[in-house]
Amino acid sequence: MNHTSLNGELIDLRAGDYEARIAASGATLVHLRRQGRDLVIPFDAETALPGAWQGKTLLPWPNRIAGSRYSYRDVEYLVPCNEPETGAALHGLVGWTDFAVVGPETNGVAGADAPAPDTVTLALRLPASYAYPWSLDVTVRYELDAQAGLTVTTSATNTGAAVSQAAGVVGAPVQEGAPAPAPYGVSCHPYLTRSVPLDECVLQMPAERVLDVDKHMAPAGERNVTGSDWDWRAGRRVGATATDNAYTGLPDGVWQVRLTGGADERSVVMSADAPWVQIYSGEHLGRRGVAVEPMTCPPDAFNTGQDLILLPTGQSHCFTWRLWEED
């Protein structure tokens, strides 16, 4: 079923026991269910906006740019502040932008007899701007599989950059006669849930280090998690622990985060291979779940350069993550 809503076009996907709803605004995951059980905190996309960035696609930066400004190749850029309490620019430029729906896809079967689609691709041209003078072609592909659950792949291609040709207009830095590569980072924002209070659930997450932040949520140094409330490697009951931190020191290759709880003690599992993951205990959503945000770079990477992706004109980057329920 496809129809428009306050959150843009809505697309329903189904495969085996799994069903998902995607909203075109922000290429957003509205809900993901298996046998009727919520795997992420859902919201009513027909009548309401998501809370606390539920399900949004985050690019060309994840997390925050401290002070809503960044310096790149000796050029300073101002970006809109959308988190007044910290003065930061939060979660990129596409979270509230309407993507075009390219799919859905139904394995080549068309017409009235076609099954519910299991795949949809959403596409967006992010134009160059004063805040970010690079143009990106972005696609987000959601694919449901009866065994594998939900796989999401976000791709971005640098299609060119605007250079300054007028006084007061900030463009991309020029090096050796060509625009500098686009600084880039990407993430997602699902809230894993077991439909019981987060305090009652067990969280397992394999990171060895945590990034501390100051009162403005800007990076203030990494530390080892051993012996602290931020050590989730063995899996433990969340209880009253609160976190809104970026973690790193993750295993090479694909890693997993697991949230277990509820009467049936099943687990919802996320996998990715990004070098960072933000874990947020969901206070803004009543601690009904935990945000698990695999990130290609840490907070404020546009200023620090840490793990920042640099995309030359014509080159692309792909980012994949997966969610499923484990019995």
Q: For residues 145 and 118, is the Cβ–Cβ distance under 8 A?
A: yes
Amino acid occupying residue 150:
L
Strand partners, 316: 157
Number of helices and strands in the chain (H, E): 1, 30
**% of the chain residues with pLDDT over 70:** 96
Q: What is the pLDDT of residue 166?
A: 73
Residue 109 has pLDDT above 60, yes or no: no
Both tokens of 46, joined, read: 């027909």
More confident residue, 279 or 110: 279
Q: Look at residue 183 and tell me whether its pLDDT is greater than 80.
A: yes
Could you give the C-alpha distances from 252 to 21, 83, 202, 248, 298, in angstroms and in order? 31, 33, 23, 11, 17
Tokens of 79: 């970006």
User: Could you give the domains of the chain?
Assistant: 2-326 (2.70.98.10)
Per-residue model confidence as pLDDT tens digits over 59-104 = 999 999 999 999 999 999 999 999 999 999 999 999 999 999 997 7
Who's near 12: CB < 8 A, 6+ residues apart? 1, 2, 19, 20, 21, 116, 117
Residue 103's pLDDT is 73
H or E segment to which residue 271 belongs: strand 266-272
Distance from C-alpha of 183 to C-alpha of 296, rounded to nearest angstrom: 12
Mean residue pLDDT of the chain comes to 95
pLDDT tens digits, residue range 135-152? 999 999 999 999 999 999
Average pLDDT estimate for 290-310: 98
Report the candidate in 57, 66, 207 with the shortest Cα–Cα distance to residue 142: 57
pLDDT attached to residue 164: 84
- Structure confidence by residue, pLDDT tens digits, 248-268: 999 999 999 999 999 999 999
- The whole-angstrom separation of Cα 191 and Cα 41 is 6
Q: Are 42 and 30 in contact (CB under 8 A)?
A: yes
Q: Identify residue 91 by its one-letter amino acid code.
A: H
In this structure, are residues 110 and 85 in contact, taking their beta carbons and an 8 Å threshold?
A: no
Residue pair 138/155 in contact (Cβ under 8 Å)? The answer is yes
Cα–Cα distances (Å) from 240 to 201, 202, 261, 282, in that order, read 11, 12, 15, 12
Q: What is the pLDDT of residue 114?
A: 63
121 CB-near residues (< 8 Å, 6+ apart):
101, 102, 103, 105, 139, 140, 141, 142
Q: Rounded to an integer, what distance in angstroms lies between the CA atom of residue 292 and that of residue 118? A: 23
